[in-house]
Amino acid sequence: MTCICPECGSIDYKVGKICSKTGKSICIDCCMMCKHYFRNEAYMSHGCRFGIQDYHSCTLTKEESEINLIKARIGDKNKQMERILARGWKNDRYIARKIDAEITRLKIDIRNIERRMETR
């Protein structure tokens, strides 16, 4: 299968990527020539900045961001629990019970925050 860049028309380019703006595969040279491409040599960072202006347009309240943080912690605890239970060691049941208690406490925290939000 031959790769043809829709921007410049080069055939079988070696390095390419999916353009965030068009969704098509383009050669890296065209990507780097785009006005949305960002490069900072001092920090060795680079990449496409297309759509970045809309990234922070969604504003969350303090409570919503707390809930999101707690849900992420619950996800981490669930993964930790799966790893512990997969080993199947007898003494890991104690640790699994502690993690289960932490998950329950975090869920209670979420409910308390939601109740605070409802009363406002």
pTM over 0.95: no
Rounded to whole angstroms, the Cα distance separating 8 from 1 reads 18
**pLDDT one-digit tens code per residue, 59-114:** 778 888 899 999 999 999 999 888 888 887 777 778 888 999 999 999 999 999 99
Distances (CA, A) of 24 to 5, 19, 61, 79, 94: 9, 6, 36, 35, 52
Question: Cβ distance 93 to 43 under 8 Å?
Answer: no
pLDDT of residue 15: 84
Which pLDDT belongs to residue 74?
94
Residues paired with 18 in a beta bridge: 25
Examine the pLDDT at 120 and tell me if it is beyond 80.
Answer: no
Domain-wise residue ranges, the chain:
16-54, 62-119
Radius of gyration of the chain (CA): 24
Give the contacts of 32 (CB within 8 A, at least 6 positions apart): 39
